[in-house]
A and B are shown apart, each in its own frame.
Chain A
Amino acid sequence: MKALQNLFDNLKPNFEKGGKWEKFHTLYEGHRTIAFAPDLITGSKGTQIKDAVDLKRVMITVVIAMIPALLFGIFNVGHQHFLATGMEATFFDKVLIGLISVLPILIVSYAIGLGTEFTFCVIRNHPISEGFLVTGMLIALVMPPNVPLWQVALATIFAVVIGKEVFGGTGMNILNVAMTARAFLYFAYPAQISGDQVWTYLGDKTPVDGFSGATALAVAYTAGVEGEPVTKALAEHNTLIGDGLFSFSNLFIGLIPGSIGETSTLMALIGAVILIGTGVASWKIIVSGFAGAYAMGLILNLFAANEYMAMAPQYHWVMGGLAFGIVFMATDPVSAAQTEAGKWIYGLLIGVLTVIIRVTNPAYPEGIMLAVLFMNVFAPLIDYYVVKANKKRRLQRATV
């Protein structure tokens, strides 16, 4: 390691004031602090020791929590590919196809995102922040496997610049950066991120006759409109490629078409266990998010104006990206509510809104994206009232 340290030391003069790459000193610091935790010490006043945690470790914890979803996503892209094309395949074939589809998206997301981030850091002369470690992975996981790479690049640039850097960088943004990327694609290039054709990676193969690439949410919505019980419609969907594609257990495990990382509720829950166990994400948001979706499902059951509304609420948990969104998107501490009481309300409303959007809005079969963005915007308002209540308690105390 001494050699690497020496390499950095040799490069250092170039980045110091007066050096030829002075402008890029923030990049130098950024890379050096990734290789080596810095040799900074506490000041002469203030705490003389500091906790061993730092933001890099917090962020890498989130990345690790997403790895089950990523690995499963890679497998599932391959799995769906062979289901759709009707070919027999081994586990390794599936993983290989998955890698061919997913890796380029992941690489583009990270490379373009970090490039944008570095450019901004150099221009604005602020330190490279570790936030994109998480964002880069999230963006890849919420993309459909068929998305064109240039769209991934464009969405990433849009999200990093408009979603984050214009507000002042990490910690200052209002909207979740990864959701901003997805929403950008959704509204700018709807053909490539909605409908029935984008969720299954086909490559140059053609699907079997009569194959439908529709997601469970789309099937459920159509069933609602046509007055057919949703569970029946799900059970009967795509039976030509095998029974029970949309059975509850399959939905839960995530062997269904969808965005790369969002299909598996199980993997999202494993991520949730890591995030809650390490204390990195707020369990309040996760619990209240699932509770909100369930409660809203129950309320809709009472009205049951159509078959979709009458669907058992637990199906909302396993369909679409609800679990992934609640676990990894809603819990982003910067864009979520920041007060403890606010987190309950924020999570609950995300769950509620997701189900409302799913059931009532024909244009958006998936509600979690808009629900998270919507609540991102409202989180400061929730906090405002929680903070106000705190101030009020303090004032009332004075008169006693």
Chain B
Amino acid sequence: MSKTVKLKKGFDIKLVGKAEKQLADFQSAKTFAIKPTDFPGMQRPKVTVNEGDTVKAGTPLMFDKALDKVQYVAPVSGEIVEIKRGDKRKLLEIKILADSKISYETFDKFAGSSLQSLSRADAIAQMTKGGVWPHIIQRPFGIVANPDDTPKAIFISAFDTNPLAPDYEFTLQGEENSFQAGIDVLAKLTSGKIHLNINADVQTPAVFAKVNGVEVNKFSGPHPAGNVGIQIHHIDPINKGDIIWTVSPFGVCHIGKLFLEGKYDATKIIAVTGSEASKTGYVKTYLGACVDTLVDGNLKQNHVRVISGNVLTGERINRNGYLGFYANQITIIPEGDYEEFLGWVKPSTTKLSFHKAIGLLSFLNKGKEYVVDTNTHGEERPFVVTGVFEKVLPMDILPTYLFKAIISEDFDEMEELGIYELVEEDVAICEFVDPSKNELQGILRNGIELLMYS
């Protein structure tokens, strides 16, 4: 039974710098990297290449010793130019200087119709070997799934409500076949259903319009309605012991392409967004691209922050840093390291706020797009104001109690209060609106790690 869910709680963060719907002419990136830090739960990454080796697109670069079946592969062909390590030799980046013409490792190739007869074991073998498995994220915990598990369902959110999020209609245009193939492969992996959750408020993009083998659910409402965790909560919630897998729409296409074309084609259209980008738009590149060609010469001013991903869940990277494995966009916003005279009480129509406390006037102008910088607008404090998180998290969960349980490391409470249903992106909006400026995503990850490793 497909469902229609109307959500009221939440908050849409409207920012200046939406990507113009066209492919912008940026120079293509020269180097690409895979970053173990993109994969929460990766414990002991083991590099299988050396500096100076040449690789093809699809050549294994590393694996996690705790989950050694799953290979992480090169997105492009070329030469390994650097294996970057940090403190205590922690692996940070494996960098590849790309060939001008990409050559590919070969994998088994299937015609679309023959995917029906593919066995589960063969599907998993190709996916884990072929580098697309890390697209499959396990709930609870938000980690790369274990191929030995069988999830009770697979969830795909077909829309992104994050700030300045790219439009799948544009980024996945012409991917109908690979998306369907991806779904056919995923169908082998679960004993239950594949849920495809679409936005009830807009016309469904072509790529999702005629998919077979999925249950289509409709969601409407402000962010975080597009978060797959919220959708799972309303369709088939996770209880202790349950396993659900989630895949992004790009991940589904990527999986499909591996089987249809027999090669690891990491082509990805990403969005260049943010108020400080002189030129916004979409750009066709590969997973893990260096962002320098998107940033250099494309800044309105020099004091900016470059983010791999969106402003809620993304990560700060250098101007010559690399796009995260799961990132669909880069966002460029102003840094906010300035003091503001009486900034805590001055009335303002230019500061974005979910709240209406004295002087915060952004609620008067709901449609306006804001330039928001990285200033925290206040210092960290204990939890004082109550009932705020409940207004932006459309789940039957009591976030404050859960965070307090995590801070006090109370395992039973964490479980009972629903930590299994949440990953960082779900509470990102709570972190944004929190008047006490706590790092809620970090707190949640601590709690998840406590449960995972003890």
Contact = CB atoms under 8 A, between A and B. Distances in A.
B384 interface: yes
A33 B379 contact: yes
A44 B315 contact: yes
Contacts of B374: 41-42, 48-49
Contact of B316 (A1, A48, A61, A336): A48
Contacts of A43: 316, 439, 442
A395 B384 CA distance: 29
Contacts of B431: 46-47, 50
Contact of B360 (A45, A53, A55, A398): A53
A39 B341 CA distance: 11
A278 B357 contact: yes
A387 B356 contact: no
Given A56-B345, A333-B386, A394-B416, A279 B376 contact: no
A1 B416 CA distance: 51
Nearest to B237: A397
Interface in A36-89: 36-58, 60-61, 64
A35 interface: yes
Nearest to B384: A171
B382 interface: yes
A36 B339 contact: yes
B68 to A, nearest CB: 27
B311 A49 contact: yes
Contact of A47 (B311, B337, B386): B311
Contacts of B356: 277-279
B435 A340 contact: no
B358 interface: yes
Contacts of A48: 305, 307, 311-312, 314, 316, 331, 333, 374
B359 interface: yes
Contacts of B386: 282, 333, 336, 338
B345 A55 contact: no
Contacts of A60: 344-345, 358
A339 interface: yes
Nearest to B351: A52
Given A43-B439, A131-B384, A37 B377 contact: yes
Contacts of A168: 382
A398 B239 contact: yes
A127 interface: yes
B396 interface: yes
B396 A54 contact: no
A17 interface: no
Contact of A61 (B305, B358, B362): B358
B344, B348, B360, B440 — most chain A CB neighbours (10 Å): B344
A393 to B, nearest CB: 6
Contact of A41 (B376, B382, B396): B376
Given A46-B439, A64-B358, A279-B357, A333 B385 contact: yes
A398 B431 CA distance: 29
Contacts of A334: 384
B86 interface: no
A52 B362 CA distance: 10
B338 interface: yes
B339 A5 contact: yes
Contact of B352 (A52, A61, A343): A52
Contact of B418 (A127, A278, A279, A394): A394
A45 B343 contact: no
Contact of A127 (B379, B385, B400, B428): B379
Interface in A302-340: 333-334, 336, 338-340
Contacts of A55: 378, 381, 384-385, 435-436
Contacts of B357: 53, 57-58, 61, 278-280
A56 B416 contact: no
A51 B335 contact: no
A50 B432 contact: yes
Contacts of B213: none
A342 to B, nearest CB: 9
B441 A47 contact: yes
Nearest to B11: A51
A90 interface: no
Nearest to A1: B341
A48, A168, A398 — most chain B CB neighbours (10 Å): A48
A172 interface: yes
A54 B387 contact: no
B346 to A, nearest CB: 8
A397 B241 CA distance: 13
A37 B337 contact: no
Interface in B233-247: 237, 239-240
Interface string A346-360: 000000000000000
Contact of A50 (B307, B315, B377, B442): B377
Given A47-B441, A51-B352, 19 more contacts: A37-B344, A39-B339, A47-B432, A48-B305, A48-B331, A49-B333, A50-B378, A51-B433, A53-B360, A53-B377, A55-B435, A170-B381, A280-B357, A333-B385, A387-B398, A387-B417, A390-B398, A391-B417, A397-B239
21 contacts: A1-B341, A37-B377, A46-B441, A46-B442, A47-B431, A48-B312, A49-B352, A50-B378, A51-B352, A51-B354, A51-B432, A58-B355, A60-B344, A60-B345, A60-B358, A61-B357, A61-B358, A279-B356, A387-B398, A391-B416, A397-B239
Interface of A: 1, 4-5, 33-58, 60-61, 64, 127, 129, 131, 168-172, 277-280, 282, 333-334, 336, 338-340, 343, 387, 390-391, 393-395, 397-398
